[in-house]
């Protein structure tokens, strides 16, 4: 961990806690009930061991360098060149994510035959999720002395296809700063809220900004301010007045109620509107800090 999974800001333990809360708690085979001789903390240790094991098999920097793609403060690259270089080595398509125009994450996908602990990880194409990098002009910044790359970190995230059963870890109090809104229904995490305010299970979770307002906080995404409009959660540039939300036990609440509703649990590329009034499926949204 101290060698292969560092936080670019130097807050290793906080970073590891975030990774466990966002990813590890969603893997069904890491549930303590799945162990025959369970000892406290075994599930977390297995999660981190497997993540490091996979990371060591994915020398992304070397693979990019072999294709003439190296960190630079002046050069830029195309998304197609980066993904082609990685696919040539990995054997399957990868997803690249950018922040402020700079390469920030590389996602590799696997199908798991068996459990996370003892199963076989089989490389595969992603499930349809697309990266957010522009087609061209992508920066690939050198690491700074503190381990970051310019103004942002270059991290390598491993994506695995697993069954979700455990709830994510929420903040417990009022939302603040940047974070995700993970969806929990029938005791299981099922996707999250994306930038328009809809519930989705196949795409990348939107980053929301929570800002203190009155007795609660407002939310905004890349689409704009978020509000309950006509009983529907909407985030858009057309929203002139953001709704002031509150938090109930780490869950998003509107008018003091943390229960929201949808017509169905999203599947595939289908998005579901989120309602405050009763519909077929009840869902709650847990805040996860970035």
pLDDT tops 80 at residue 234: yes
In this structure, the answer to whether residues 157 and 182 fall within a common structural domain is no
In this structure, the answer to whether residues 149 and 22 fall within a common structural domain is yes
pLDDT tops 80 at residue 229: yes
Neighbours of 155 (CB within 10 A): 19
- Among 161, 186, 201, the domain boundary falls at 161
User: Whole-prediction pTM value?
Assistant: 0.52
* Diameter of the chain measured on Cα atoms: 56
Domain for residue 240, yes or no?
yes
Q: Smallest Cα–Cα separation from 96: which of 170, 159, 44, 20?
A: 159
Domain for residue 7, yes or no?
no
More confident residue, 14 or 136: 136
Note down the domain range covering 106: 12-161
Domain for residue 18, yes or no?
yes
pLDDT tops 70 at residue 71: yes
Confidence at residue 209, expressed as pLDDT on a 0 to 100 scale:
95
Confidence at residue 155, expressed as pLDDT on a 0 to 100 scale:
40
Categorize the per-residue pLDDT at 75 as very low, low, confident or very high, splitting at 50, 70 and 90.
very high
In this structure, the answer to whether residues 157 and 238 fall within a common structural domain is no
Confidence at residue 22, expressed as pLDDT on a 0 to 100 scale:
78
Categorize the per-residue pLDDT at 166 as very low, low, confident or very high, splitting at 50, 70 and 90.
very low
In this structure, the answer to whether residues 139 and 36 fall within a common structural domain is yes
How many domains does the chain contain in total? 2
pLDDT tops 80 at residue 135: yes
Q: How many angstroms separate the Cα of 213 from the Cα of each of 62, 149, 219, 224? A: 47, 34, 10, 16
Domain for residue 126, yes or no?
yes
What number is the average pLDDT over the span 41-54?
Answer: 91
In this structure, the answer to whether residues 210 and 263 fall within a common structural domain is yes
In this structure, the answer to whether residues 22 and 82 fall within a common structural domain is yes
Contacts of 212 (CB under 8 A, 6+ apart): 174, 176
Contacts of 178 (CB under 8 A, 6+ apart): 207, 208, 209, 210, 289, 290
What number is the average pLDDT over the span 138-154?
Answer: 60
In this structure, the answer to whether residues 241 and 271 fall within a common structural domain is yes
Domain for residue 261, yes or no?
yes
Spatial separation of the C-alpha atoms in residues 115 and 150, rounded to whole Å: 38
Long-range contacts of 225-234 (CB under 8 A, 24+ apart): 226/197, 228/254, 228/276, 231/275, 231/276, 231/277, 232/197, 232/273, 232/274, 232/275, 232/276, 233/193, 233/197, 233/198, 233/260, 233/273, 233/274, 233/275, 233/276, 234/196, 234/197
In this structure, the answer to whether residues 153 and 240 fall within a common structural domain is no
What number is the average pLDDT over the span 164-193?
Answer: 71
pLDDT tops 60 at residue 231: yes
pLDDT tops 80 at residue 143: no
Neighbours of 288 (CB within 10 A): 19
In this structure, the answer to whether residues 55 and 117 fall within a common structural domain is yes
Confidence at residue 144, expressed as pLDDT on a 0 to 100 scale:
61
Spatial separation of the C-alpha atoms in residues 219 and 195, rounded to whole Å: 11
In this structure, the answer to whether residues 142 and 252 fall within a common structural domain is no
In this structure, the answer to whether residues 136 and 217 fall within a common structural domain is no
Confidence at residue 239, expressed as pLDDT on a 0 to 100 scale:
94
Q: Which residues of 94-108 are buried (b: 16+ CB within 10 A; e: fewer)?
A: bbbbbbeebbbbbbb
Confidence at residue 275, expressed as pLDDT on a 0 to 100 scale:
94
Q: What is the pLDDT of residues 251-289, one digit of tens each?
A: 899 988 889 999 999 988 889 999 998 888 899 999 888
Q: What is the mean pLDDT of the chain?
A: 84
In this structure, the answer to whether residues 28 and 69 fall within a common structural domain is yes
Q: Tell me, what CATH number does 94's domain have?
A: 3.90.730.10
270 touches 251 (CB < 8 A): no
Spatial separation of the C-alpha atoms in residues 181 and 38, rounded to whole Å: 31
* Range name among 14-23, 63-72, 162-171, 234-243 with the lowest pLDDT average: 162-171
């Amino acid at each position: 961990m101290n060698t292969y999974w560092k936080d670019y800001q130097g807050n290793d333990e906080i970073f590891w806690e975030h990774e466990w809360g966002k990813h590890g708690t969603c893997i069904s085979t890491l549930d303590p009930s799945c162990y025959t001789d369970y000892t406290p903390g075994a599930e977390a240790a297995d999660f981190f061991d497997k993540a490091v094991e996979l990371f060591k098999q994915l020398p992304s920097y070397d693979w990019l360098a072999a294709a003439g793609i190296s960190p630079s403060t002046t050069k830029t690259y195309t998304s197609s060149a980066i993904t082609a270089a990685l696919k040539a080595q990995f054997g399957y398509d990868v997803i690249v994510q950018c922040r402020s125009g700079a390469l920030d994450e590389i996602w590799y996908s696997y199908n798991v035959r068996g459990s996370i602990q003892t199963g076989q990880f089989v490389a595969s194409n992603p499930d349809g999720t697309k990266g957010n990098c522009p087609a061209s002009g992508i920066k690939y910044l050198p690491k700074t002395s503190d381990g970051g790359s310019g103004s942002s970190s270059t991290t390598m995230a491993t994506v695995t296809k697993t069954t979700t059963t455990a709830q994510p870890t929420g903040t417990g109090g009022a939302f603040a700063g940047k974070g995700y809104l993970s969806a929990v229904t029938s005791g299981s995490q099922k996707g999250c809220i994306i930038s328009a305010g809809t519930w989705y299970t196949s795409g990348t979770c939107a980053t929301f900004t929570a800002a203190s307002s009155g007795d609660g906080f407002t939310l905004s995404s890349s689409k704009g301010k978020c509000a309950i409009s006509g009983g529907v959660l909407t985030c858009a540039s057309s929203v002139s007045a953001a709704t002031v939300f509150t938090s109930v036990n780490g869950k998003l609440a509107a008018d003091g109620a943390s229960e929201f509703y949808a017509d169905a649990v999203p599947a595939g590329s289908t998005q579901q509107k989120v309602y405050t009034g009763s519909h077929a499926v009840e869902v709650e949204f847990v805040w996860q800090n970035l």
